[in-house]
Amino acid sequence: MTVREFENAAELEAAVGQDLGVSGWFPLDQGRIDGFAGVTKDDFWLHTDPERAARESPHGKTLVHGMLTLSLMAHMARSIWKLKTMTSGLNYGYDKTRFLSPVFPGDHIRLRRTLLQAENTDQGLRLRFKDVMEVLGRDKPACVTESISLYRTD
């Protein structure tokens, strides 16, 4: 997989409306779910207790936190594209976030990213992306959102 590189902000702005690419597949296991639960203090049994989930969950197993799926987008995006003149970047927020399909331990997910908008502001280059988190072997994505980032450039 090749990272798509943009030489400067103008070149990136010219890519508005384009699919920037997809990340590699990323495996999720119970250990990562438990680690996320420990950090966020979201230790609800539906995520962290495989035995109880086997008995009481309609899925018969634990679920990956939706927020874990969402939080992995920043990591995966770095394998899709790069702005060579970027000096810093910040997560500005998310719009229209929906968790459409459950993710289970053992599933593999990947990010598909499309650049929707690029705008120069006094805070920096504001980019809006359509992010789709796909699940290996399923037609319905796990999560769809519009993420917004601010980048400073040379």
Residue spans per domain, the chain: 4-28+64-153
pLDDT at 1: 73
| Segments of the chain with pLDDT less than 70 | none
pLDDT at 72: 97
- What pTM, to 2 d.p., does this model score? 0.94
pLDDT at 154: 83
Contact partners, residue 102, CB within 8 Å, separation at least 6 = 59, 63, 64, 142
Find the angle CA(117)-CA(121)-CA(127) to the nearest 5 degrees.
25
Q: Rounded to an integer, what distance in angstroms lies between the CA atom of residue 70 and that of residue 105?
A: 16
pLDDT at 124: 92
Contact partners, residue 26, CB within 8 Å, separation at least 6 = 72, 75, 76, 108, 109, 110
**CATH number for the domain running over 4-28+64-153:** 3.10.129.10
